């Protein structure tokens, strides 16, 4: 059973378009992280959100944590080919200091 | 400042052989986590170690898999008598303390069992 569902699983769009990917769960997390993974590499942390309703911006990327801390979204404005990669969300359960529950990822391709 | 180093990057083993995967954490990091990733899937937690201690191995199969993080040297994930289903990417992450802050991932070892 996948505790964290990411959607869509795959997204291919043209350079310059906007997009939103989602990370949903029925569980409450104490925090949630977004990672980007390129082929043949390990995941690289983009952001950690902690407070329900929190919004964080990283250049053209906007991350939001749901009010109930069960879901999150990542919005990319004016996508560029360099944004191509696998975007993973990972949530930390409240009863653990180190266990992360991972989504299966959204594979994003930005075509020039 | 070197990041998390994993070696080898690629490992091919025949069924029944042993696979040894190494992970050198970032300097100053004493917490190591091993994850497994199958194609089109997220990462699955395997084991969490501190120097000379296994803190949580609940994600690791009880047979054939073992892990260690000695006082000196890298952390080792050992898989004995490998089977085709062990083929996957194995990632190591390290952090200076429990995962309340960022964990840094290595580039992974891609194990192929033939």
What is the per-residue pLDDT across B2-17, written as a single tens digit (0 to 9) for each?
A: 699 999 999 999 999 9
Which DSSP state fits A41? Answer: S
Record the tokens describing residue B88, joined without a space: 């996957």
Q: Which pLDDT does position B95 carry in this prediction? A: 87
- Report d(CA B81, CA A94) in Å as an integer: 37
Q: Pick the residue from chain B with its C-alpha nearest to A34.
A: B102
- Report d(CA B30, CA B37) in Å as an integer: 23
Record the tokens describing residue A22, joined without a space: 């989602």
Please answer whether residues B47 and B54 qualify as being in contact, where contact means their C-beta atoms are separated by less than 8 angstroms. yes
Interchain contact B44–A (C-beta under 8 A): yes
Contacts of A92 in chain B (CB under 8 A): 99
Best A36, A49, A89, A98 residue to mutate vs chain B (most B CBs within 10 Å):
A98
Asked if the model's pLDDT at residue B80 lies above 60, the reply is yes
Interchain contact B113–A (C-beta under 8 A): no
* Closest CB from B41, B44, B105 relative to A42: B105
Tokens 């795959």 locate to A10
Please give the backbone phi and psi of residue B13, each rounded to the nearest 5 degrees, phi first. Answer: -130, 145
Which DSSP state fits B25? Answer: P
Residue A42: name the closest of B21, B92, B94 by CA: B92
CB contact under 8 A, B103 and A45: yes
Interchain contact B54–A (C-beta under 8 A): no
CB contact under 8 A, A48 and B102: yes
Q: Which pLDDT does position A40 carry in this prediction? A: 86
Find all residues with CB under 8 Å of B44, minimum gap 6, and list them: A102, B35, B36, B37, B38, B59
Residue B21: name the closest of B72, B74, B58, B73 by CA: B74
Q: What is the mean pLDDT of chain A?
A: 92
- What SS3 class is residue B43? strand
Asked if the model's pLDDT at residue B102 lies above 80, the reply is no
Record the tokens describing residue A97, joined without a space: 């200091």
Please answer whether residues A46 and A35 qualify as being in contact, where contact means their C-beta atoms are separated by less than 8 angstroms. yes
Q: What is the pLDDT of residues A14-70, one digit of tens each?
A: 999 999 999 999 999 989 999 999 988 999 999 999 999 999 999 999 999 999 999
How large is the C-alpha radius of gyration of chain A? 13
**Chain B closest CA to A16's CA: distance in Å?**
26
Mean per-residue pLDDT, B85-106: 84
- Report d(CA A81, CA A66) in Å as an integer: 28
Torsion sign over Cα A90, A33, A108, A9: positive
Please answer whether residues A31 and A50 qualify as being in contact, where contact means their C-beta atoms are separated by less than 8 angstroms. yes
Q: Which pLDDT does position B2 carry in this prediction? A: 66
What are the distances in angstroms from CA A65 to CA A33, A103, B17, B34, B92?
A: 10, 15, 45, 27, 27
Q: How confident is the model at residue B98 (pLDDT cuts 50, 70, 90)?
A: low
Q: What is the pLDDT of residues A55-65, one digit of tens each?
A: 999 999 999 99
């Amino acid at each position: 059973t996948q505790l964290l569902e990411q959607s869509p699983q795959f997204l291919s769009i043209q350079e310059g378009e906007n997009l939103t990917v989602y990370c949903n769960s029925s569980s409450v997390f104490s925090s949630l992280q977004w990672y980007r993974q390129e082929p043949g590499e390990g995941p690289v942390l983009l952001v950690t959100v902690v407070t329900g309703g929190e919004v964080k911006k990283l250049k053209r990327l906007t991350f939001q944590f749901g009010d109930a801390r069960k879901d999150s979204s990542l919005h990319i404005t004016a996508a560029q080919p360099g944004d191509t990669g696998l975007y993973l969300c990972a949530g930390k359960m409240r009863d653990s200091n180190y266990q992360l529950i991972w989504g299966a990822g959204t594979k994003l391709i930005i075509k020039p | 400042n070197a990041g998390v180093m994993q070696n080898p990057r690629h490992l091919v083993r025949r069924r029944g052989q042993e696979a040894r995967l190494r992970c050198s954490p970032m300097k100053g990091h004493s917490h190591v986590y091993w994850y497994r990733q199958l194609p089109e899937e997220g990462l699955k937690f395997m084991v969490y170690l501190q120097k000379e201690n296994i803190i949580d191995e609940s994600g690791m199969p009880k047979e054939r898999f073992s892990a260690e993080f000695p006082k000196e040297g890298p952390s080792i994930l050992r898989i004995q008598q490998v089977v085709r289903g062990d083929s996957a990417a194995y990632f190591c992450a390290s952090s200076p303390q429990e995962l309340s802050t960022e964990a840094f991932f290595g580039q992974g070892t891609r194990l192929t069992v033939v």
